[in-house]
Amino acid sequence: MRKIVRLAYVLTLFILFDLTATIYWIANDLGHEANPIMAFFLKISPLLFVIAKLGFSAVGIWILYFFRKRFTKTIFKVLLGLNLVYISVFVYHLWGLLFLLIATN
């Protein structure tokens, strides 16, 4: 059970990093939002993008947390998979940052 809670916390940190990095890339006209649903919200307003990202993420994590006792193995696998996806997003942002640092030197 503790593993599930830890994975949920780690996922939350990855989501916050992705949110911050995406806003940075967009604000500096260095990138775009890859998720078409989130791009829709971003097109309307960066504030709406932040609210939507945090809202959807919070609801999703809450649902996983709520069902953690009933479907422990499944929830663990889902959280593990989501963390792996966000690790790749994290690495993608870091790759972009390294590319930016190398290109500006």
Tell me the domain boundaries of the chain.
Answer: 2-104
What pTM was estimated for this model as a whole? 0.89
Of 44, 41, 45, 49, nearest to 15 (Cα)? Answer: 49
pLDDT digits (tens, 9 = 90+) for 51-94: 999 999 999 999 998 998 999 999 999 999 999 999 999 999 99
CB 83 within 8 A of CB 7: yes
Q: Is 70 exposed, middle or buried (0-12, 13-18, 19+ CB in 10 A)?
A: exposed
Residue that wins the pLDDT comparison between 5 and 105: 5
pLDDT of 33 above 80:
yes
6 falls in which pLDDT band (50, 70, 90)?
A: very high
pLDDT of 100 above 80:
yes
Residue 33 DSSP SS3: coil
Q: What is the DSSP letter of 69?
A: T
| Structure tokens that stand for 44 in this block | 């309307």
**Which of left, alpha, beta for 29 (phi over 0: left; psi -120 to 50: alpha)?**
left
Which pLDDT does position 104 carry in this prediction? 83
37 falls in which pLDDT band (50, 70, 90)?
A: very high
